[in-house]
Structure 1
Amino acid sequence: MNDSAHNTPSEQPKRTGMRALATAGDDGEFSVIAAIGGVRGVIESMLPGLLFVVMFICTSDLRMTVIASAALAVIQVVVRLVQRQSVMGALGGMIAVAICLFWAWKSGEARNYYMYGFITNAVYIVLLLISMAVRVPGLGFVIEFIRSLPTEHFKAWLNGWRTDKALYKAYAQITWLWIGLFALRLIVQVPLYLTNQVGWLGTTRLLMGIPFWALAIWISYLIVATPMHYHRLEEKKRKEAAEQ
């Protein structure tokens, strides 16, 4: 069984995140594991955070914890470079970890390692709520943008999927789903931050990270797969009719 650790440079990178949803109907296949970055991607994304919380609980030494977590994030990128693997995911993760570590380091409080996550979740909630208010479901916008980049006739592209009632409804549902996910993270984790329970905060952050993301992507796929399939069939028919 092949995984990302055995890919050659000539192989196409696996589709992850929203791109996996946007292209799910192209070949009729969808893999949650691939969508969240594969087994290696999951391990790489969780390790720095896991190391941070475990080391801090065991040592209470913020300086040592920050240095060790930063070193691990850098090593992950270097290993991918040596193996001639794609480093974009690992690099993005390293940057996010660096921001979190810097915040904790400068403030002198381990709990501030998680502040960046609170801010990003809050920003996502606000943006998605605005998208629902203007009747352009944010998840639908992202998925359709990835699926068919509107290089011209933006209004026609926008109306093309918004006027498909079944597809619009599906996109609205998954947008609310993701709003709920981001909100639940804040509801659970912010009280732990305010009471300075770093151990529990780190644990819930890990549990509500990749596992929740995987579940949300899977449910999103179940909701949008059928209306997206029929929408593409209609697009194909219209295109063929226009060419005749």
Structure 2
Amino acid sequence: MAASDPDSLVRLLGGRTGAVDASAPGLVFVGVLLLSDDLLVPVAAAVVTALLLGLVRVLRGRAPRAAALGLLGTLVSALVVARTGRAEDFFLLQLLANGVSALAWTLSVWLRRPLLGLVVGGVLRQRTAWRRDPDLLRAYSLASWWWVGSYVLRFVVFVSLWSAGQVVALGLARAALSWPLVTTVVGLSWWTVRQVLPDGHPGLRHPVTPQTPGRRLTDPQPSLPD
């Protein structure tokens, strides 16, 4: 695969803004918690932050669904805290989400429907064409393991801090493991895809299927790591 190939996972899988927006309510929650003895005050501040970020997203023409999901996640976290009265439970939803994500990404690879391919294929409006390209299927499958690792890392860190009741550390970890980790994983995924795709492959936007003229035949069942 040519180094000049314009198909970049960094562009296709988003950037820093979404990850920063996702971690901002948690940081506000922790910051206000240090200044207030009333647990409802940081909860309200986090919800207001998520609402304002959602409005900014919509006004800038970004996907309203992403804004709605971000706000919904913060509202659920706020309700959990209001119910349990434990500040660390503000991060419980994110803890569980990372555990579920790790399992889902792992399962998708073993089912030969890697979520990385589904995400990129969806962005590129390819539907399932990429699955008929053995080279792309193998590349997406191998690159997906970086995402599994990132979710496992977050889950382990969050469980450890949540169990110890380390609320401030949870907020900082949420920020540290957001866009810096996402950017790293995106870069590693892109590197993996470039390494796996053979020379002459047209790239992510152009799956090579059995019906593609001049297709180079490869093993239709890509091997996966043990």
Same fold (TM over 0.5): yes
- Larger RCO, structures 1/2 (Cα 8 Å, 6+ apart): 2
Q: Give the match for residue 6 of structure 2.
A: 28
Cα deviation per residue 1:37-80 (whole Å; 9 max; x = unaligned)? 455x4543332121111111232421000111111222233345
Q: Give the match for residue 40 of structure 2.
A: 63
Aligned equivalents of 1:136 and 1:75: distance in 2? 36
Q: Which residue identity lines up with residue 86 of structure 1 in the other structure? A: R
Instruction: Give secondary structure in 2 for the equivalent of 1:171.
Output: helix
The answer to whether residue 30 in structure 2 is matched with residue 53 in structure 1 is yes
> Greater CA deviation, 71-80 or 54-63?
71-80
Question: Aligned pairs, how many?
Answer: 208
Give aligned-pair identity as a percent: 24
The answer to whether residue 204 in structure 2 is matched with residue 235 in structure 1 is no
Instruction: Give secondary structure in 1 for the equivalent of 2:172.
Output: helix
Larger proportion of helix: 1
Are the aligned partners of 2:108 and 2:115 in contact in 1 as well (CA < 8 Å)?
yes
| C-alpha spacing 1:79/1:185, structure 2 compared with 1 (3 Å) | closer
Aligned equivalents of 1:220 and 1:86: distance in 2? 24
Quote how far apart the aligned CAs of 1:159 are: 5.0
| C-alpha spacing 1:33/1:51, structure 2 compared with 1 (3 Å) | farther
Quote how far apart the aligned CAs of 1:212 are: 0.7
TM-score, normalised on structure 1?
Answer: 0.71
Q: Give the match for residue 189 of structure 1.
A: 158
Instruction: Give secondary structure in 2 for the equivalent of 1:140.
Output: helix
Matches within 5 A, 1:151-166: 157=129, 159-161=131-133, 163-164=134-135
Q: Give the match for residue 19 of structure 1.
A: none
Cα deviation per residue 1:96-151 (whole Å; 9 max; x = unaligned)? 2112212112211111111111111111111122223333333234333443443x
Aligned equivalents of 1:34 and 1:239: distance in 2? 24
Are the aligned partners of 1:45 and 1:90 in contact in 2 as well (CA < 8 Å)?
no
Q: Give the match for residue 186 of structure 2.
A: 217
TM-score, normalised on structure 2?
Answer: 0.75
Quote how far apart the aligned CAs of 1:230 are: 1.0
Unmatched runs of 5 consecutive residues or more in structure 1: 1-24
Matches within 5 A, 1:100-119: 100-119=77-96
| C-alpha spacing 1:33/1:109, structure 2 compared with 1 (3 Å) | farther
Unmatched runs of 5 consecutive residues or more in structure 2: 216-226
Quote how far apart the aligned CAs of 1:92 are: 2.7
Q: Which residue identity lines up with residue 214 of structure 1 in the other structure? A: T
